[in-house]
Structure 1
């Protein structure tokens, strides 16, 4: 029953629906107490010959009316109860999505995508079933059971009631131990399903690589092993499930046998009439559902408890980055970066050290350096995807730690080297951040990203479906569509994280020229191809987490260090490839 206590916040929120459903359920239970006693009176009247046909028909019509009322009342309370349970699924999934969105990338390194998907589907469904079927089973079995036992004990025979209840303690003990076994096995089966979901996602995402390396047979073998493990764990759950019904059926059979045998003895002793025994057996028939429901209830509760524990484990994960409370009213402010040191969690050496610079609003900043020199780390700190402990980053006169996180990140539009496109039309992908954008605005952004001409060559133009992750487009086309999407946002700071690596030099030049024409926008270009940094107002060259060179393109060439050497090398490489 612990899971009910854990869900009390939702029961309190939806108390009207749950309270109304349980209230109607009490009314239904009271109505259901009438037919068995009435049938007992009819039987005694028929046996004694004191009941006329008209009176008997009147009783039968009354019983039919009661059953009709019960039918409609059951519809009402089920709609209320299960409607509230379905709403819980919506609440939990929205809460999970918001929770996922609030976490830094480190959270998604700890939890795989397949595991999070499994918790958002299977585990949520199990909790919803607890809030629906579980509450129904608990309330119905408890109310019906208590009411029927009261009538059987008070109005018929307490001795016969005690006799009928003798198998119940044995059933309760068996159900308790089976429930504990089910809890552990269901937890293992859910964990195995998470692994299966994650493995499926990885296989589908990497299908091209698998085919390219000829690994289909090996991958199928590994996947079959995961599937077999899930099947074995689900079979273990089914084995426990299968033990519930025989226990209940045996207990019910023993209860009926003792009732009939004891009732026959009491009739011979003239302490009970045939009508009373008939009514008792009918009431005992009403007890079959509470007895079955108790076993089913333990099954539901153990599944729900295991599922809720998995969800609670996710909800208990606090975001690494906490939002500040200062609103960002001012726009187009300079960015002042003063990083003394930054060390990634679990690492000994600093990823960045002594990084100080000021980026005026509307300027273009270039960032270059060898692989692992700290370029992406700097971007993570600017976006507050990682927390800076030793140092400060200011936007105008506000430290970004004190700013509202959503407002701060909304200042940025980031285009990565491998942009993500959704399985929608090109127009929808460009307008992702501005769904109400007109086609003219979409085309203007596409023209600035030098992709408009390519799009118009497709048979369906801007309505062309790009396929999952843009599988139908080339790398350069995906990058330019992502740039158009970022431009349409009209964000204050545009970040191109090696986002021009898949386009030719001429297209790169035109895109950067278009960006320079937008005077207010601040542009940060992270690039390995140094021609992308020729137009930057200032370029920072990183080596081993420190700024080794700083200046514009001309001054960096004059320094004749890493930047100049790499620039000459890339120019020579272009000349050789062009020749």
Structure 2
């Protein structure tokens, strides 16, 4: 029952609703005592041949009123208890989602999407059951059982009550053992479901790659294996779950057997009437539900406990990057001073950056080049404060970047990543993502700057065209330019283009860069690229290699050095010449 203690914070929150619901359950449990007693009275009247119409009608009216009362009370306790459990699921889901949005990229490197989805769906459903059906079965089994046993002992025969309940300790021992087995096995079943969920998400997202490489059969085989594992783990849960009902039926059968044997002896000894035995066995019949509910309670509680533990462990994950006390709540502006002595990504022994030092004045453009893994993206990640734990300092304007509130810092930065993510909504919706109140004219202006406006006009529904999941209906260049337009809608103080022009042709690239240069003359821009044509206009260019700066200067200065940048430029010029058929 530990899960009820763990959920104590919520029960305190909703104590009024739960108290009203429990009170109504108690009234229902009390009203359920009337029918067996009335049956006993009627049986005695029949056996004594004194039953009258007036007597029968009187008790039928009482039964009808009791039934109406139980109907009304059951309706409202469902609203109070089940309604509260739905509120718990909503609250936990919101807390979980907020927690997800606060976590750093390293968290998502460790956790799988499918697993996180399983926490937010299957696990939450199990916890909701605990706060709803779990509370119901706990209160109802104890209340109904307690009232029934009290009625049997007080109004009929206490000695027969004690004899009839002798098998109950056996039920308590066995159900406790089953509960422990169920907790362990259900945890394994939930983990198997998480694996299957992750596989489903991954396969659907990567279906194009799977089909391109002709791996449909292999992927299906892998899915079937995980699906069978889920079935196997749930069958193991079901095997334990299936023990509850037979065990309870056996114990109930023993209780009935003892009641009839010893009840008959008491009738023969004139200590009870036939009507009393009828009432007693009817009460014993009412005890079947509390016993079944008790078994069901173990099932619900152990499932809820396993799921709540999984959710709690996830919520206990520390937020690695958070606002410091008294963080500055202003959007940064001004020069950027980047000085990093050493930085390693979490879990990596190799330095991603070391001895990287540069200053970028406000309104200037910085170009960053270098081969894959040279540290270009690491610089951008630190600027956006997606990672910490470095030796050195990064100043933006008058303050270090970790002095700003995260929200203020990121509102000043328009970031266009290498991996372009578009939402399953309209083109206009994707562009206006950071400014939901933007007018269509503002959206179109951003699209024009990104040189995607003409393309959009040729789409089926123009700006109202649904792009599909992750922009599946668009080309790579179109997705890149829509992402650039989305970043421009923020009117950012710092625009970061992380190799974001790789899928557009040279002419379009030049047009976009010229438009940005004219529009953003007073704002700062950082561009990383493998294609030097994208950064040769920059005020300052740094060349990265093995996590450090090996060359720094303008395009003209670097060409005069005749170093790495010069070689890269000459090579790309040669490639361009070959593509044009060898003509100068």
Shorter chain as denominator, the TM-score bin is over 0.9
Aligned partner of residue 380 in structure 2, secondary structure: helix
Structure 1 position 360, deviation (Å): 2.0
Contact 2:331 2:409 in 1 (8 A): no
Residue 489 of structure 2 corresponds to residue 523 of structure 1: no
Structure 1 position 400, deviation (Å): 1.7
Structure 1 position 157, deviation (Å): 0.8
Residue 21 of structure 2 corresponds to residue 21 of structure 1: yes
Deviates more, 1:555-564 or 1:444-453: 555-564
Structure 1 position 478, deviation (Å): 0.5
Structure 1 position 51, deviation (Å): 4.4
Match of residue 568 from structure 1 = 570
Match of residue 362 from structure 2 = 361
Match of residue 271 from structure 1 = 271
Contact 1:361 1:521 in 2 (8 A): yes
Aligned partner of residue 292 in structure 1, secondary structure: helix
Contact 1:417 1:500 in 2 (8 A): no
Q: Could you say what the CA RMSD is over the residues aligned between the two structures, in angstroms?
A: 1.5
Match of residue 181 from structure 2 = 181
Distance 1:328 1:127 in 2: 38
Contact 2:24 2:77 in 1 (8 A): yes
Contact 1:160 1:259 in 2 (8 A): yes
Residue 215 of structure 2 corresponds to residue 219 of structure 1: no
Structure 1 position 41, deviation (Å): 2.3
Gaps of 5+ in 2: none
> TM-score scaled to structure 1, two decimals?
0.97
Deviates more, 1:222-231 or 1:267-276: 222-231
Distance 2:445 2:74 in 1: 59
Match of residue 474 from structure 1 = 475
Contact 2:432 2:438 in 1 (8 A): yes
Distance 2:346 2:51 in 1: 87
Assess, with a 3 A threshold, how the Cα gap between structure 1 residues 172 and 323 changes in structure 2: closer, same or farther.
same
CA deviations on 1:509-552 (whole Å, 9 max, x unpaired) are 11112212223332111111011112212111111111111122
CA deviations on 1:194-236 (whole Å, 9 max, x unpaired) are 1111111221222222222222222222222111111111111
Match of residue 199 from structure 1 = 199
Residue 471 of structure 2 corresponds to residue 456 of structure 1: no
Structure 1 position 331, deviation (Å): 4.3
Distance 2:249 2:397 in 1: 75
Contact 1:539 1:551 in 2 (8 A): yes
> TM-score scaled to structure 2, two decimals?
0.96
Distance 2:503 2:221 in 1: 36
Match of residue 64 from structure 1 = 64
Match of residue 423 from structure 1 = 424
CA deviations on 1:76-131 (whole Å, 9 max, x unpaired) are 00111111111111111111111111111111121111111111111111111111
Distance 2:552 2:365 in 1: 13
Distance 1:329 1:520 in 2: 19
Structure 1 position 386, deviation (Å): 0.9
Distance 1:151 1:272 in 2: 15
Distance 1:345 1:110 in 2: 10
Equivalent positions of 1:163-562 (< 5 A) are 163-324=163-324, 325-329=326-330, 331-516=332-517, 517-562=519-564
Structure 1 position 4, deviation (Å): 0.6
Gaps of 5+ in 1: none
Total equivalences in the alignment: 579
Aligned partner of residue 489 in structure 2, secondary structure: helix
Structure 1 position 330, deviation (Å): 5.2
Residue 10 of structure 2 corresponds to residue 5 of structure 1: no
CA deviations on 1:258-308 (whole Å, 9 max, x unpaired) are 112221111111001122222212222221111000000001111111111
Distance 1:519 1:46 in 2: 102
Distance 2:182 2:331 in 1: 58
Contact 1:381 1:388 in 2 (8 A): no
- Displaced runs of 4 or more, over 6 A: none
Distance 2:331 2:487 in 1: 21
Distance 1:240 1:193 in 2: 18
Distance 2:532 2:354 in 1: 23
Distance 1:172 1:299 in 2: 14
CA deviations on 1:159-215 (whole Å, 9 max, x unpaired) are 111111112111221111111111111111111111111111221222222222222
Distance 2:403 2:460 in 1: 50
Distance 2:20 2:335 in 1: 59
Match of residue 86 from structure 1 = 86
Aligned partner of residue 379 in structure 2, secondary structure: helix
Match of residue 73 from structure 2 = 73
Match of residue 148 from structure 1 = 148
Distance 1:62 1:389 in 2: 78
CA deviations on 1:48-100 (whole Å, 9 max, x unpaired) are 34443112201111111111111111010011111111111111111111111
Distance 1:492 1:45 in 2: 92
